[in-house]
């Protein structure tokens, strides 16, 4: 199979999307169009994530990464069908790739021929929702990332790839957030390589159920416990 024709959606300037784009471009996967959400929520989420990975390097800005390819970049106030579809309607897309967005539902998910895929910084189905590294430490869930198809649930679509991250003693919460960010980008790159090789049919599989609820943003009292467990090295899934 040929490389997929895909749109890339992200919150404007978000480090998650910047890293993922760097990873997939490194293997020659160039989006047909990039659709950024430019909003107060996007600003808040970007700043929140920058604090989570403080002290770690950032991938170049999106516009720098695609400057040699002529990829159009458009901004929308929110990633909803009526805002995004006018920009996609004349492009025959194989895929849409989410590179760090809010929850997106509706017609967008049905538009591309072969689906919408996302990389999540947690091991699915065990750790769905927000702040996955924090909740993973809090509940002693192994830490990792997953690439999955998007449906109308929250991180519930069929899996393509799932990989545990090596967690060593002395790592900080910021290290874990950065590690899952990078791993998420790597898994998306590997998923697109597998698409090009015609492997998705044998890779995609249901997630199954989780004993945990879908997590929301971790409050400060949860983060305090997380930092203490990492400081005292009482997290249950160290590799050393």
Looking at residue 140, its pLDDT comes to: 98
In a domain, 239, yes or no: no
Range of the domain at 174: 6-232
In a domain, 238, yes or no: no
pLDDT digits (tens, 9 = 90+) for 81-136: 999 999 998 899 999 999 999 999 989 999 999 999 999 999 999 999 999 999 99
192: CATH: 3.40.50.12230
- The whole-angstrom separation of Cα 132 and Cα 175 is 13
Share of residues in the chain with pLDDT > 90 (%): 96
Number of domains observed in the structure of the chain: 1
Q: What SS3 state is found at 231? A: helix
In a domain, 240, yes or no: no
Looking at residue 116, its pLDDT comes to: 97
User: Is the model's pLDDT at 70 over the cut of 80?
Assistant: yes
Tell me 2's DSSP state: P
In a domain, 226, yes or no: yes
End-to-end CA distance of the chain: 41
pLDDT digits (tens, 9 = 90+) for 131-175: 999 999 999 999 999 999 999 999 999 999 999 999 999 999 999
In a domain, 36, yes or no: yes
């Amino acid at each position: 199979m040929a490389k997929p024709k895909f749109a890339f959606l992200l919150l404007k300037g978000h480090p998650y999307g910047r890293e993922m784009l760097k990873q997939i471009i490194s293997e020659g996967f160039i989006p047909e169009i990039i659709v950024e959400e430019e909003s107060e929520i996007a600003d808040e989420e970007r700043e929140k994530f920058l604090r989570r990975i403080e002290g770690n390097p950032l991938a170049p800005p999106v516009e720098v990464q695609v400057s040699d390819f002529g990829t159009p970049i458009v901004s929308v106030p929110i990633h909803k069908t009526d805002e995004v579809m006018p920009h996609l309607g004349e492009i025959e897309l194989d895929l849409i790739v989410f590179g760090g967005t809010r929850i997106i539902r509706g017609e967008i998910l049905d538009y591309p021929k072969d689906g919408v895929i996302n990389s999540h910084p947690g091991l699915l189905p065990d750790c769905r929702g927000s702040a996955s590294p924090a909740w993973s430490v809090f509940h002693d869930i192994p830490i990792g990332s997953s690439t999955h198809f998007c449906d109308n649930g929250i991180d519930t679509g069929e899996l393509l790839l799932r990989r545990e991250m090596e967690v060593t003693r002395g790592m900080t919460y910021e290290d874990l957030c950065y590690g899952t960010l990078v791993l998420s980008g790597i898994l998306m790159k590997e998923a697109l390589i597998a698409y090009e090789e015609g492997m998705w049919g044998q890779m995609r599989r249901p997630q199954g159920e989780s004993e945990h609820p879908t997590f929301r943003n971790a409050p400060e009292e949860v983060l305090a416990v997380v930092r203490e467990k990492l400081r005292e090295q009482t997290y249950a899934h160290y590799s050393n």
